[in-house]
């Protein structure tokens, strides 16, 4: 039997939503799912090398005034960073991460080298649509 497939559209580049996506990704990997992640619009900024795992450069989507409390709580609970969740998932399972070409260009990233090392490819939006059509589970964050 083939593994189930999840397609995750990651629109947000905020630390709270990236962390949530990392937790969801970990659950999917634990269930032996293949996961395609399509990084769209603001999400692409978070995957830039100079932004990456630097929470100071990331916003907070929900309740921005609680960002410091959120980050302190993650640290106290010894929760991985969003990027650590993503890296670990790629090591353990079939996880592919794609940057939307337009989103990359918006944030001055037009080549793979402009993004953190876990990004597999820069693709057009039709790749995301095809993946979403074929997925057992499709999420948009």
Q: Which domains does the chain have, with CATH numbers?
A: 5-140 (3.40.1260.10)
Cβ atoms of residues 135 and 7 within 8 Å: yes
Minimal CA–CA distance to 114: which of 37, 45, 42, 48? 48
User: pLDDT digits over 10-40, tens only?
Assistant: 999 999 999 999 999 999 999 999 999 999 9
Q: Exposed, middle or buried: residue 94 (CB in 10 Å: 0-12, 13-18, 19+)?
A: middle
Residue 78 has pLDDT above 70, yes or no: yes
Q: Return the pLDDT at 60.
A: 86
This prediction's pTM = 0.93
The mean pLDDT of 101-120, rounded to a whole number, is 96
The mean pLDDT of 96-109, rounded to a whole number, is 97
Q: Return the pLDDT at 2.
A: 81
- Give the model's confidence band at 56: pLDDT under 50 very low, under 70 low, under 90 confident, else very high: confident
Cβ atoms of residues 93 and 33 within 8 Å: yes
């Amino acid at each position: 039997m083939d593994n189930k497939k999840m397609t995750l559209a990651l629109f947000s580049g905020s630390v709270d939503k990236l962390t949530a996506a990392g937790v969801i990704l970990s659950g999917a990997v634990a269930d032996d799912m293949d996961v395609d992640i399509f990084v769209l619009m603001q999400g692409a900024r978070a995957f830039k090398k100079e932004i990456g795992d630097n929470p100071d450069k990331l916003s907070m989507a929900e309740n921005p005034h609680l960002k410091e409390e959120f980050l302190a709580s993650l640290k106290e609970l010894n929760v991985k960073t969003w990027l650590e969740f993503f890296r670990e998932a790629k090591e353990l399972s079939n996880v592919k991460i794609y940057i939307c070409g337009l989103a990359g260009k918006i944030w001055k990233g037009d080549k793979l080298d402009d993004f953190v090392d876990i990004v597999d490819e820069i693709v057009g939006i039709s790749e995301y649509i095809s993946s979403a059509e074929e997925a057992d589970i499709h999420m948009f964050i």
